[in-house]
Amino acid sequence: MIYHGNRFTVKEGVTPEQLEEAMESLRNQGRVIPSVTSFVVGRDYGGEYEWGAIFVIEDLDGYWEYLMHPAHRNTDRVGLPLVEKFVSFDITDDPDPRMAEKIAELHRRRYDSDPELTELVSGLGSYTGSAAPGPHGK
């Protein structure tokens, strides 16, 4: 199993309506992407981030489906412009010693296939995670 997580803090001036649209889009990902077996979206307590989401996915094929699904792309479109600081991470019980490389490669393929997404992520104030594009990946 792969537990894919996102933690983020929004920019100053984001309206409650904008934030709710982004949060609902995250919740929708959990509901409609077939490879997501469970999920949680909500407040992030105990750290430097305000909000978070975790999506449970069975394997790398499901992870790719999750990354490329239109519901995920919608969250990128409505949510990333609101974000100041962002981190994505993955926790897995898969014993494959190359799992981190394989996950990073999925992200690289996605960024390579979507210049608009790469631009959105590159414009974030701070982003860490698998295969972060632009200035964050250096």
The DSSP annotation for 70-81 comes to HHHHHHHHHHGG
- Please tell me the predicted confidence (pLDDT) of residue 138: 57
**pLDDT value at residue 123:** 85
Per-residue pLDDT of the chain (138 residues; tens, 9 = 90+): 999 999 999 999 999 999 999 999 999 999 999 999 999 999 999 989 999 999 999 999 999 999 999 999 999 999 999 999 999 999 999 999 999 999 999 999 999 999 999 899 888 889 988 777 767 665
| Contact between 77 and 21 (Cβ < 8 Å) | no
Per-residue confidence (pLDDT) for residue 136, from 0 to 100: 63
Q: Which of 78, 79, 80, 105 is nearest to 90 (CA)?
A: 105
Single pTM value for the model: 0.93
Q: Which residue has the tokens 């993955």?
A: 90
pLDDT at 137: 66
Cα torsion 2, 51, 75, 30 to 10°: value is: 50
Q: Find residue 4's DSSP bridge partners.
A: 55, 90
What is residue 49's predicted lDDT score, i.e. its pLDDT? 97
